[in-house]
Amino acid sequence: MDRYLVFGHPVRHSKSPFIHTLFARQTQQELEYGLAEPAVDEFAHALRTFFDQGGKGCNVTVPFKEQAFTLVDRLSTRAKRAGAVNTIKLTDDGVLLGDNTDGAGLVADLKSHGVTLADSRILLLGAGGAARGALAPLLAELPSELVIANRTHTKAQQLAAEFHDLGPVTAQAYEQLAGPFDLVINSTSASLQGELPPLTPALIHTDIAIYDMMYGASDTAFISWAKQHGARQTMDGLGMLVEQAAEAFTVWRGIRPGTKQVLRELKRNLGVI
Ligand code: ATR
């Protein structure tokens, strides 16, 4: 049976096996999908061993995405832009192809929630790996403006300069942000510590869409804060997780699974509904 897995550390709580097993059942593909948690300095060896032993493809998550970028034979355009690899496929001619489906997953999830990206003003919070992965797919949707704000402002400036050729992207310091924005995407890891990015509540209005790439069984700190200040449309990163997985599955198997039912089952599994 064709073997796939996700590399990460820690990875025990990953939802990827659950999601891909449901995709496989739905599309009647014969495959198994597992977990691998190599020591941080053992990833390169573990990856090589997996493919030497017949593995067909893998996902890569924290903290290995940047290292995976350096280990594959060939990179997709979107992986090159993201500077990180979250999906690897062994092609029929034995090439390890590195791809990145995170940004496509974000855009697909935003669209499935009915969010309009064309001609919109987008505020992206954070300038780390998650922000970098989102930029090219967001700019491809032709927003009128994409502003990056980051705690360390120089990182936002660097990122904006790097993606400037793809669209109207600029960096603004948190304290200088000028709205109104149609969509705010939180790519920071602040919610992990229950913290909030230093955003003024004045930017939140009833028609704004709020997206937090993080998720949990209850609202993230950022989503709670936005609701408290009047945001009516809030979304967490669970849908992005399922959509990036669907994109990876499509890369591997050439068949696109449906995501709605899988997302519902995942929510039930997490105790969200
Ligand atoms: P990831 O790969 O998830 O993007 P990362 O590369 O470590 O992780 O980036 C984390 C991002 O969250 C950074 O933009 C970080 O801001 P700094 O560049 O200033 O470090 C941001 N971040 C983390 N905690 C934050 C907090 N409490 N408030 C605001 N931004 C925060």
Residue 153 CB: number of other CB atoms within 10 A? 17
Alpha-carbon distance of 133 to 83, in angstroms, equals 8
With a 6 Å cutoff on the Cβ, whether 188 touches ligand 1 is yes
Name the residue with the closest Cα to ligand 1, atom 11: 188
| CA-wise closest residue to 96 among 35, 30, 52 | 52
| CA-wise closest residue to 242 among 226, 260, 219 | 260
Name the residue with the closest Cα to ligand 1, atom 21: 188
Q: What would the pLDDT profile of 63-107 be if each residue is shown by its tens digit?
A: 999 999 999 999 999 999 999 999 999 999 999 999 999 999 999
CA angle 117, 182, 178 (to 5 degrees): 125
Q: What would the pLDDT profile of 32-55 be if each residue is shown by its tens digit?
A: 999 999 999 999 999 999 999 999
Alpha-carbon distance of 57 to 11, in angstroms, equals 17
Find the 211 Cα to ligand 1 centroid distance in Å.
16
pLDDT confidence tier of residue 8, bands split at 50, 70 and 90? very high
Question: Does residue 65 have an active-site annotation?
Answer: yes
Read off the pLDDT of each residue in 244-262 and give the average, rounded to a whole number.
98
Q: What would the pLDDT profile of 182-192 be if each residue is shown by its tens digit?
A: 999 999 999 88
- The model carries a pTM of 0.96
With a 6 Å cutoff on the Cβ, whether 197 touches ligand 1 is yes
Catalytic residue among 56, 65, 111, 260: 65
